[in-house]
Amino acid sequence: MSKVSINNEEIDIVIGAVQADLTSFLEDWRPFISKFHLIIVQDPDLKGEPKIPDGFKVDVYTKSKIDQTVGASAAALFSGYSCRYFGYLMSRKKYVISIDDDCTPAKDTKGNLVDAIAQHINNLKTPATPFFFNTLYDPFCKGADFVRGYPFSMREGVPCGLSCGLWLNLADYDAPTQALKPGLKNTRYVDAVLTVPVKTFMPVSGINIAFNRELLGPVLFSSFKLEKEGKYRYETMEDIWTGMSVKLISDHLGIGVKTGLPYVSRKERGNAIESLKKEGQGVNLMEQVLPFFQSLSLSKEATTAEDCVKELAAAVKERLGQTDAGFAKTSETMLEWLKIWSANK
């Protein structure tokens, strides 16, 4: 099966800027992103005006605009990596692609630079197949198809809501793994996209993702933050939590989630050993979070993404709220986000 057409007007590229000078980041990506509309949201904790080279179609949001839109108290929700969620809120497009500002375009096995934007759009615009695993991976990739034994009634697939890309060079390991194996880099280019099966959870990373805003917009928000959540990916759990929520809700609504291509290349940033103490809390909490999501069923009454977030928030409060104050806060934040979303959509 073959590549889809890309309508530039359907796409926003959202960059959460945790560094002020985006010159080299944007220059690296220029060949792939200059024809699209960019939304750049600067981490509100960051001082200084963002530095952006000429030649991009870009809207830039800084602390003052965030404060003005959601109020100064809610603005705290958008600090650190979470600033990009403000970009998701500001987008009016069907598809949002978001790449962290420590990433550069990766090279494939032939040494060609990867067009991550085109690959994400291809993933989102072709169906997903969550109900039966195709051993030859995404049957909608060029040159692929369904293998023998795949029921014909299931070959139409379902809409894809989320496309999770991967990372070469610095893989997205946690602080303990990276601290134990400082030399461990990801050099394996796996030339595949696959649908994550229904009822299967995985740790979604926010480093390199794309989603269908019309289907999942209200779900993509950072409602779970560690007390000591920092400015390095090692130190965050927000995207992991968001990913679990997205997967739960996608499964419930019959929407697919894909993972695999495209790769980006990540540069070293932060100190894994320093980050160890910050991440301890997250490591422990994941042990509770996964069984919670794996055992949760949403009701038939939840037919929209908003309904699902509401139900999930209630379940978080009821079933996790007693165990850790962070979860009670998470439940509140989910509901607050829904209000912000409704007021701004």
Residues that bind a second copy (CB under 8 A): 109, 132-137, 141, 143-154, 164, 166, 171-174, 177, 181, 184, 186-192, 196-205, 233-234, 237, 240, 243, 259, 283, 286-287, 290
**Judged by CB, which is closer to a second copy: 98, or 259?**
259
**Judged by CB, which is closer to a second copy: 33, or 141?**
141
Report the candidate in 18, 157, 160 with the shortest Cα–Cα distance to residue 98.
Answer: 18
Report the candidate in 223, 193, 237, 182 with the shortest Cα–Cα distance to residue 313.
Answer: 223
**Residue 8 C-beta: closest distance to a second copy, Å:** 28
**Residue 61 C-beta: closest distance to a second copy, Å:** 27
Evaluate the CA torsion angle 309, 312, 318, 323 in order and state its sign.
negative
**Judged by CB, which is closer to a second copy: 12, or 239?**
239
HSE-up of 245 (CA within 13 Å, CB side)?
Answer: 30
**Residue 339 C-beta: closest distance to a second copy, Å:** 28
**Judged by CB, which is closer to a second copy: 190, or 343?**
190
**Residue 279 C-beta: closest distance to a second copy, Å:** 9
Cis peptide before 53 (omega within 30 of 0): no
**Judged by CB, which is closer to a second copy: 101, or 174?**
174
**Residue 172 C-beta: closest distance to a second copy, Å:** 5
Report the candidate in 114, 295, 252 with the shortest Cα–Cα distance to residue 190.
Answer: 114
Q: Give residue for tokens 């009701």.
A: 299
**Three-state DSSP state, 263:** strand
**Judged by CB, which is closer to a second copy: 85, or 234?**
234
Q: Give residue for tokens 């601290």.
A: 179
- Chain length of the chain: 345
Q: Give residue for tokens 């034994």.
A: 149
Return left, alpha or beta for 143; rule: phi > 0 is left, psi -120 to 50 is alpha, else beta.
Answer: left
**Residue 130 C-beta: closest distance to a second copy, Å:** 9
Max Cα-Cα span within the chain:
58
